[in-house]
Amino acid sequence: MERGRGRYVGNGWELGSKEGRQRRTMFIQTQPTPNPSSLMFYPGKPVMEVGSADFPNARSAMNSPSSEGFELLGFSFGSDFITVTKADDSSWDILKPEIFAAIMDFYSSENPLFLDSNTAASMDTAIQEDDSETVAMIKELLETRIRPAVQDDGGDIEYRGFDPDTGVVKLRMQGACSGCPSSSVTLKSGIENMLMHYVPEVKAVEQELDDEDEAATLPG
């Protein structure tokens, strides 16, 4: 499908496309994040019905049709936004119009959000029957108090576990939080302080990296 032309309106981008005799328009807004390499895109439509999904590097981002054709490091999907992380040598002035058009194309099509049907929203903070009272409290705080604040900045967190012997909570930073210069401050001054305040069993919060996260931070 040929991408429609767009125009800036206020702090967003209005796009239109013609399919047969029907014309569809979208007003896509953007919002900066604390990470200068990440930008939030609000399509004005639901993105994920439940949870979130994160693709921290170019290889994993290929699982989403929205990433096709772009020199990007990764994507993060939330309930009503898409956080895009670009390479340091790429310019938002060049990328933004193409990303706007790609989002419009996606919503005009009937393509699934993910190419791999096994890709699903993270349910890391869902309380399980065998969770201890401490773990249940940690998950509830992450889901109701911490995650919404982190998502406001285009990021997300993934709960990776709690060690009752050391009192350490393991988390993975996602989206704009991954690789952000202020992520360590967010982790320690924000998340750690809140969890330690409400859950005395928590003594520290540490970030856990996957191979994909480490690959995304490597030069070249």
Which pLDDT value is given to residue 155?
A: 81
Amino acid 24: pLDDT:
56
Selection from 13, 20, 40, 11 nearest residue 108 by Cα: 20
State how far the Cα of 206 lies from the Cα of 23, in Å rounded to an integer.
49
Q: Where are the domains of the chain?
A: 6-108, 133-216
Q: What is the pLDDT of residue 1?
A: 35
> How far separated are the first and last CA of the chain, in Å rounded?
32
Confidence at residue 43, expressed as pLDDT on a 0 to 100 scale = 92
pLDDT for the residue 140: 95
Per-residue pLDDT of the chain (220 residues; tens, 9 = 90+): 334 444 444 444 455 544 444 445 678 999 999 888 899 999 998 888 777 788 876 565 555 555 555 556 788 888 899 999 888 888 999 899 888 888 888 888 877 776 554 555 566 788 899 999 999 999 999 999 998 888 888 888 889 999 999 999 999 888 777 766 666 667 777 889 999 999 999 999 998 876 555 544 444 4
Name residues whose C-beta falls within 8 Å of residue 134's C-beta, 6 or more positions apart in sequence: 162, 164, 199, 201, 202
pLDDT confidence of residue 176: 74
CATH (one of 3.40.50.12780, 3.40.30.10, 3.40.630.10, 3.30.300.130) for 133-216:
3.30.300.130
Within 11-146, residue ranges assigned H as helices are 58-61, 92-108, 133-141
Q: What is the pLDDT of residue 142?
A: 93
Residue 171, C-beta contacts closer than 8 angstroms, at least 6 positions apart: 142, 157, 158, 159, 160, 187, 191, 205, 206, 207, 208
**Hey, which bits of the chain come out as E strands?**
6-9, 12-19, 22-32, 38-42, 53-55, 72-77, 82-86, 155-163, 168-175, 204-207
What are the C-alpha distances in Å from 1 to residues 23, 54, 94, 140, 144? 13, 27, 21, 44, 40
Tell me the CATH number of domain 6-108, given options 3.40.640.10, 1.10.357.10, 3.30.1370.70, 1.10.940.10: 3.30.1370.70
Give pLDDT, residue 39. Answer: 93
Task: State residue 72's pLDDT score.
Answer: 65
